[in-house]
């Protein structure tokens, strides 16, 4: 159930009683009584959750409590937001205050009236609960406490794709068929039930060393030509789906190409090609099932002893047997148990798992195991999980964006004041995302250099469950057509639009909290907290943002970056949005009387020189993108003590801080800055760059797209730097002597004109942690030397567009960790030297994977 609503409103009421007590003028008692009722409702929800309610009376009551909580918060917050801006000092503001007294009195009267109505609804609900005995306890397991959760949470979740068990023989057999040129079989199909591992097997085959070779890689790029290529089509659900695609694939033709398909339906694979090889993927055996479960459920799995408590082993094996040897079900169950440490907790899950699995037979059991993962998760995670139902199937969700939305919606909140040492809400949200992945409810897409999640996605079966529960709990409504009936959205506070919907199709009387549109729409919904236009909105022109946007005083997140509109039409009323935390407009013009409280601000790529922004009040800002000194004051950077990510765009003039520089004061005051990017085609003063980098004492990521000709000395760089991306720097001197002293550097990318010299050297005993090196577009590079014992941890190396490079460095033969070498846009002569028997073969013969793209003849 959605605990976020009731928790958020209790915090809002508490703030009102503390900050606006003098404004209540006789209404304080009413608000205090309301707060007590809210605390009672929260207790009821906790008790209902502990009982695992599954009856209609409790569900109806829970839905009504959620609606009451939303209504209370809307009333209280509206009052606070309309009163607070009028309380300012100065003579002119004193006059304005007198003029507003009557209006405030009317607002207070209206607020009291609305509170009375809500209190009456609470009284009616209490009577109904007593009448229908909804509070009568029922048998059912409880949930883990918050303290236990925080103690047991590990810093990085399990990565499901790495936990592959029991596919070795399957891979061997299918690869042999796919690489057999003499075989008449053109189509290989893998079929089996959802969650059995079809996609995992297909990915393993795709990455197999016998499948990825030079010839196939080149042919994949030119797959329409009459050559040999491998096409993998994953998850074909129906015959009709294949028929709509088959014209693109010459299955019936006499071709050297081969096709690998996966499907849940055996009829589909037979229909595709009756002469093809049909392979039914089997479930794991008992030993494999237990091995997979151990990998996920037990923390000591990587230890040499690998000892498991006999009682836990007995319970675990019994539960694994109930999973019908299905990898997805086992992984989910293992994720649940990974957070449990005591035998008592395991016994609770064991009892609950049994009851769920008894509800279905055969293939249906997986649905109940997946449902168990939701019911077993603590309340604060369920709202986060249900929020994922808005994203389309197979969508790679940006973790940073998701976290911003969670915070804006109030789904994630902090009980302590951030300004007084409380935990930052984005950090709390990041922990929640880790927990979802730890429980295998969400899967990792990609990670950054600090191992934080960059993207994530949902398994299609888990997404089906998420959609089902979100619909049952009226968490949100997804619109896929041009009609919206008020009857089916009356109790829904979030709307997601996946297609073009005209505004008149959605009634403004619906008390929506968020609109997340994958296409173009806008409406005057005064209680909105989130208004977000995602990728689907690109290309819509002529959009004019109404000044009425300033009436959405509850708005926390406004994302219009994918809407094409005239920047001159941006209304100054945006300054009225005092609650706004995330603004992604690519344009901003300050207006109104309120002090904005941005946490994430993305400025435009271009603004008129007349626009000058005063950002010094944004003391809570965490992300600032496209900062430029034509429209912003450099001195404001010294006010952003919490800033974590800064993107500088265009010229970086320091006229307003020359005095500070003379005193050697830092340009950036934040000790929290982790990411800095500078994009400036006009160049930057080397002294200014050095001083700027010296201000970033804990920087992890540095991106420079700016002409500098020489890097600052290494002592100006942060020792925490793990990622460096240079492009267009036109460095005359070899950058390696400077960069190799960054002992925590893990990824180094030198792109087009990053270095314009002829010789580059990686010296011995340096770059100790460098894992990935990319040299692309270094047109003048003729010789690259790698000394023995240099870059000892290198895993991935890419050389692209370095046409004058004569040969690979001899030192590559000493790098035993190298797993992959990619060569692209290089002369054929460079490639031919690596062929067995040629001069460079000894340098690369130990590398498992060597891939060539777009090789050309000089």
- Sheet containing 453-457: give its strands across: 397-398, 453-457, 443-447
Asked whether residue 644 is assigned to any structural domain, the reply reads no
The sign of the torsion formed by the CA atoms of 358, 363, 366, 371 equals: negative
Q: Residue 17's pLDDT is what?
A: 62
Q: CB under 8 Å to 427, separation ≥6 — which residues?
A: none
Task: Return d(Cα 600, Cα 424) in angstroms, integer.
Answer: 13
Does 49 reside within a domain? yes
Other beta carbons within 10 angstroms of residue 450's beta carbon come to 12
Structure-token pair, residue 180? 């057999």
Q: What region, left, alpha or beta, does residue 823 occupy, with left being phi > 0 and alpha being psi -120 to 50 degrees?
A: beta
| 676: in domain | no
Look at residues 448, 475, 502 and tell me which one is the last residue of a structural domain.
Answer: 475
Please report, for the domain that includes residue 404, its CATH number.
1.10.10.10
Q: Kindly state the tokens that stand for 645.
A: 């990510």
pLDDT of res. 45: 74
**Residue range 820-829, pLDDT digits in tens:** 999 999 999 9
Helix ranges (H only) for 654-735 are 658-662, 686-695
Q: Are 411 and 383 in contact (CB under 8 A)?
A: yes
* Cβ neighbours of residue 487 closer than 8 Å, sequence gap 6 or more: none
Inter-residue long-range contacts of 418-424, CB under 8 Å, 24+ positions, other chains counted: 418/620, 419/620, 424/622, 424/642
Give Cα 439 to chain centroid, integer Å: 16
Asked if residue 101 belongs to a domain, the reply is yes
Please indicate, yes or no, whether the overall pTM of this predicted structure exceeds 0.85.
no
Counting beta carbons within 10 angstroms of the beta carbon of residue 412, is it exposed (0 to 12), middle (13 to 18) or buried (19 or more)? buried
Tokens of 209: 């060393």
Q: Are residues 115 and 172 in the same domain?
A: no
3-state SS assignment for residue 723: strand
**Residue span of the structural domain in which 16 resides:** 3-131
Domain assignment of residue 733, yes or no: yes
Please check whether residues 122 and 171 belong to one and the same domain. Answer: no
The residue ranges of the chain whose pLDDT is under 50 are 87-102, 136-160, 216-221, 224, 301-305, 360-363, 482-483, 485-487, 503-504, 519-521, 536-540, 566, 568, 587-595
Same domain, 276 and 179: yes
Q: What is the pLDDT of residues 673-712, one digit of tens each?
A: 999 999 988 888 888 899 889 989 999 999 999 999 899 9
Cβ within 8 Å of residue 408, ≥6 positions away:
514, 529, 530, 556, 557, 581, 582
What was the pLDDT predicted at 1?
52
- Within this chain, do residues 270 and 402 fall inside the same structural domain, yes or no? no
Alpha carbon distance 375, 352 (integer Å):
10
- List the CATH number of the domain containing 759: 3.80.10
pLDDT of residue 138: 41
- Cα distance between residue 6 and residue 66, in whole Å: 7
Residue 115 shares a structural domain with residue 186 = no
Task: Tell whether 326 is covered by a domain.
Answer: no
How many independent structural domains does the chain possess? Answer: 4
Q: What is the rounded CA–CA span in Å between residue 799 and residue 781?
A: 11
Q: What is the pLDDT of residue 145?
A: 35
Those residues whose C-beta lies under 8 Å from the C-beta of residue 664, and which sit 6 or more positions away, are 691
Residue 628's Cα: distance from chain center in Å?
Answer: 27
286's enclosing H/E stretch is: helix 286-297
Domain boundary at 231, 248, 280, which?
280
843 phi, psi to nearest 5 deg? -80, -25
Residue 754 inside a domain? The answer is yes
Largest CA distance in the chain: 93
| Whether residue 112 is found in the same domain as residue 181 | no
């Amino acid at each position: 159930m959605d605990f976020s609503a009731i928790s958020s409103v209790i915090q809002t009421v508490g703030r009102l009683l503390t900050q606006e007590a003098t404004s209540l003028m006789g209404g304080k008692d009413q608000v205090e009584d309301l707060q007590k009722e809210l605390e009672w409702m929260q207790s009821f929800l906790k008790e209902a959750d502990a009982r695992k309610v599954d009856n209609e009376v409790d569900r109806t009551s829970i839905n009504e409590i959620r609606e009451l909580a939303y209504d209370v918060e809307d009333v209280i917050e509206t009052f606070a937001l309309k009163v607070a801006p009028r309380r300012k000092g100065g003579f002119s503001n004193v006059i304005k205050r007198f003029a507003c007294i009557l209006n405030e009195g009317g607002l207070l009267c209206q607020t009291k009236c609305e509170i009375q109505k809500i209190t009456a609804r609470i009284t009616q609900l209490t009577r109904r609960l007593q009448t229908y005995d909804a509070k009568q306890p029922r048998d059912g397991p409880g949930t883990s406490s918050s303290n236990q959760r925080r103690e047991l949470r590990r810093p990085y979740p399990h990565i499901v794709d790495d936990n592959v068990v029991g596919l070795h023989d399957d891979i061997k057999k299918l690869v042999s068929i796919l690489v057999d040129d003499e075989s008449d079989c053109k189509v290989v199909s893998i079929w089996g039930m959802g969650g059995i591992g079809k996609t995992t097997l297909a990915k393993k085959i795709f990455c197999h060393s016998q499948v990825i070779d030079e010839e196939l890689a080149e042919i994949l790029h030119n797959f329409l030509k009459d050559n040999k290529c491998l096409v993998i089509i994953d998850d074909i659900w129906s015959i009709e789906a294949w028929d709509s695609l088959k014209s693109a694939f010459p299955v019936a033709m006499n071709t050297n190409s081969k096709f690998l398909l996966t499907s849940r339906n055996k009829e589909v694979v037979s229909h595709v090609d009756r002469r093809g090889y049909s392979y039914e993927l089997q479930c794991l055996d008992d030993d494999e099932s237990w091995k997979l479960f151990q990998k996920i459920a037990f923390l000591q799995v990587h230890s040499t002893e690998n000892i498991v408590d006999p009682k836990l082993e007995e319970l675990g094996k019994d539960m694994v047997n109930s999973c019908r040897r299905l990898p997805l079900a086992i992984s989910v169950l293992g994720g649940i148990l990974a957070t449990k440490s005591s035998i008592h907790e395991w016994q609770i899950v064991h009892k609950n798992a049994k009851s769920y699995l008894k509800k279905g037979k055969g293939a249906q059991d997986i649905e109940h195991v997946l449902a168990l993962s939701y019911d077993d998760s603590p309340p604060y995670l369920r709202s986060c999980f249900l929020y994922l139902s808005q994203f389309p199937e197979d969508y790679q969700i940006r973790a940073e964006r998701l976290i911003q939305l969670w915070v804006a919606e109030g789904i994630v909140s902090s009980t302590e004041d951030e300004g007084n040492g409380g935990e930052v809400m984005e950090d709390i949200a990041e922990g929640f995302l880790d927990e979802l992945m730890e429980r295998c409810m969400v899967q990792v897409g990609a990670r950054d250099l600090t191992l934080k999640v960059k993207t994530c996605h949902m398994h299609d079966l888990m997404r089906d469950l998420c959609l089902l529960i979100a619909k049952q709990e009226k968490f949100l409504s997804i619109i896929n057509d041009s009609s919206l009936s008020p009857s089916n959205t009356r109790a829904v506070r979030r709307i997601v639009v996946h297609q073009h919907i005209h505004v008149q199709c959605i009634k403004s009387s619906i008390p929506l909290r968020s609109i997340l549109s994958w296409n173009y729409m806008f409406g005057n919904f005064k209680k909105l907290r989130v208004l977000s236009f995602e990728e689907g909105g690109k290309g819509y022109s002529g959009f004019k943002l109404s000044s009425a946007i300033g009436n959405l005083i509850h708005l926390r997140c406004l994302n219009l970056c994918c809407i094409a509109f005239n920047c001159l039409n941006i209304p100054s009323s945006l300054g009225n949005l005092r609650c706004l935390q995330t603004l992604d407009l690519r344009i901003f013009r300050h207006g109104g009387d309120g002090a904005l409280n941005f946490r994430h601000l993305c400025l435009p790529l271009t603004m008129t020189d007349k626009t000058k922004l005063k950002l010094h009040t944004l003391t809570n800002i965490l992300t600032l993108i496209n900062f430029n000194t034509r429209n912003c004051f450099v001195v404001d950077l010294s006010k952003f003590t919490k800033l974590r990510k800064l993107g500088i765009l265009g010229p970086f003039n320091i006229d307003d801080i020359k005095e500070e520089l003379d005193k050697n004061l830092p340009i950036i005051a934040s000790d929290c800055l982790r990411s800095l990017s500078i994009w400036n085609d006009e160049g930057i003063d080397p002294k200014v760059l050095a001083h700027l980098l010296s201000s970033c004492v804990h920087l992890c990521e540095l991106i420079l797209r700016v002409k500098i000709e020489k890097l600052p000395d290494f002592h100006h760089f942060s020792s925490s730097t793990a990622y460096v991306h240079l492009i267009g720097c036109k460095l005359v001197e070899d950058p390696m002597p400077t960069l190799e002293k960054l002992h925590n550097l893990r990824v180094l990318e030198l792109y087009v004109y990053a270095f314009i010299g002829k010789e580059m050297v990686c010296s011995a005993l340096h770059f100790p942690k460098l894992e990935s090196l990319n040299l692309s577009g270094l047109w003048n590079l003729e010789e690259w030397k790698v000394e023995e014992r240099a870059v000892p941890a290198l895993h991935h190396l890419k050389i692209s567009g370095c046409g004058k490079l004569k040969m690979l460095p001899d030192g590559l033969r000493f790098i035993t960790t190298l797993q992959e070498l990619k060569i692209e846009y290089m002369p054929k002569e460079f490639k031919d030297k690596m062929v067995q028997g040629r001069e460079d073969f000894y340098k690369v013969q130990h590398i498992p994977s060597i891939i060539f793209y777009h090789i050309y003849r000089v």
